[in-house]
Amino acid sequence: MERGQLWVEPSATMILARVRGIPTEDLLRECQKRVLQLVKDTGQWRVLYDALELEVPNVEPALIQQKLEAELEPGIRLRRAIVVQNTRVAYHGRLAFGAGDYRVFYNDFAAAVRWLEE
């Protein structure tokens, strides 16, 4: 299994966050930090998570993301699309983001982008 890697960058209408490999707590914290900084800097609140190459060997990454979600400042508005390759990663994504404004897409970037831009 591959150690986690992260890319976070602004796009024309959204923030793109790519996570691959096995995410550590530090990697997930860094991802959240970069996304929130770009939200602040660009005014964009739509985030596309590319999780096609994400590996989730256990529930720990989802629990870490739940904790990060609980730490969000009140008033921060994010709409997130999560693109996944299988039901396991989709399930963990749903656990991670809970009741937030998000949707999971299976291998379909075009649908994810359309939904974010609605």
All domains of the chain in start order, with CATH: 5-117 (3.30.750.24)
Name residue 46's beta-bridge partners. 79
pLDDT in tens, 28-45: 999 999 999 999 999 999
**Residue 74: pLDDT band by 50, 70, 90 thresholds?**
confident
pLDDT in tens, 93-109: 999 998 889 999 999 99
pTM: 0.94
Instruction: Return the CA Rg of the chain.
Output: 13
- How many CA atoms lie within 13 Å of 10's alpha carbon, on the beta-carbon side? 12
Asked if 51 contacts 83 with a C-beta cutoff of 8 angstroms, the reply is yes
| Integer Cα distance of 115 and 102 in angstroms | 10
Asked if 32 contacts 61 with a C-beta cutoff of 8 angstroms, the reply is no
The backbone region for 75, taken as left when phi is positive above 0, alpha when psi lies in -120 to 50, beta otherwise, is: left
pLDDT of 2 > 80? The answer is: no
